[in-house]
Amino acid sequence: MEYLSYPVIDPVVFTLGPLTGNWYGLFFEIGLLISSVLLTRRLKGVHPSMDSDRKTILIFTCFITLLLGARVSYVLLYCPSSLADEPFYFLKFWDGCASFAGAVALVVPVLWLLSKKWNVEFYRLTDAVATAAPVAALAVLAGDTVVGSGWGKVVMDPHLSMLFSSSRHADMLIASGDLALANVIKSNAYGVLPRFPSQLLELVSQVILWLVISVIYSKNGHKPGFTTALYLLLFSLVKITTEQFHEMDIPVGFSGSLFSTKAGALTIPLLFMFEIIVLSVLVSKKNVPKN
């Protein structure tokens, strides 16, 4: 059977003396720039007190919170043992491993603290941020996609799978003791098993999510918090759905459920936040149209 081969792309974009730039970092910076511009525009109608200084503080705070939340949640879920050898391993952002679901879970309470400090309506603030958050998520996914990481489950159907050179180590472990799988590995140049391109599916899903959230936010008449709740719900559903195609990494207590992967389990606090926001929006009588 002939399988499509994902191109082998060097994760390093450039090397300048002791400095190296990788695709993951490049896309993250592009995502930060675009989301910052977008968020600056959205914040104009949040509150009259949102001057340029507060906008700068908010964008910088969101950036740091998202970065730390994404990295810390990933390290705690996937490689907590590394902290024993390197207590500050979670600060190695250049490793290119992060969990955006964990970042979202952390940025919400931080926004609540800022809204209290500035006396700005919390949900109008989160609604604005929710329109820019998908851009950051897309940047992270794009970085993973370019270098061919984030592949999914082993699928033998050539119409639903591709060959990823980065999966070789995992595939060798899977094929150990299985003659049929070992023959598949020997039959292609990459020496890997065919896998579902789940990162491409998630990338397309996040693009659609961004478009939906942007359109919804542009419509006047929604109660503050509606866009935030919708984003949390759709992001969680997209993550849970696409995780079903990822290689399984089952944490204790979630085996056999929709939250059967660690990344999927991270959507639980997001869904909890969604329920809280929905309840508070439903009982609220405020319905302030955006300026």
Cβ atoms of 211 and 220 within 8 Å: the answer is no
pLDDT mean across residues, the chain: 81
Specify the amino acid at residue 249: D
The answer for residues whose C-beta is within 8 angstroms of residue 281's C-beta and 6 or more apart is: 123, 223, 224, 225, 226, 229
Taking the C-alpha atoms of residue 204 and residue 210, their distance in angstroms, rounded to an integer, is 10
Quick check: pTM over 0.85? no
**Res 255: pLDDT:** 44
The pLDDT value recorded for residue 69 is: 78
With a cut of 50, which residues of the chain have pLDDT below it?
A: 250-257, 288-291
* Side-chain half-sphere exposure of 173, counting CA atoms within 13 A: 3
Q: What is the pLDDT of residue 185?
A: 93
**Cα 183 to the center of its chain, rounded Å:** 35
Position 254 scores a pLDDT of 44
- Would you state the pLDDT for residue 282? 62
Q: What is the pLDDT of residue 163?
A: 94
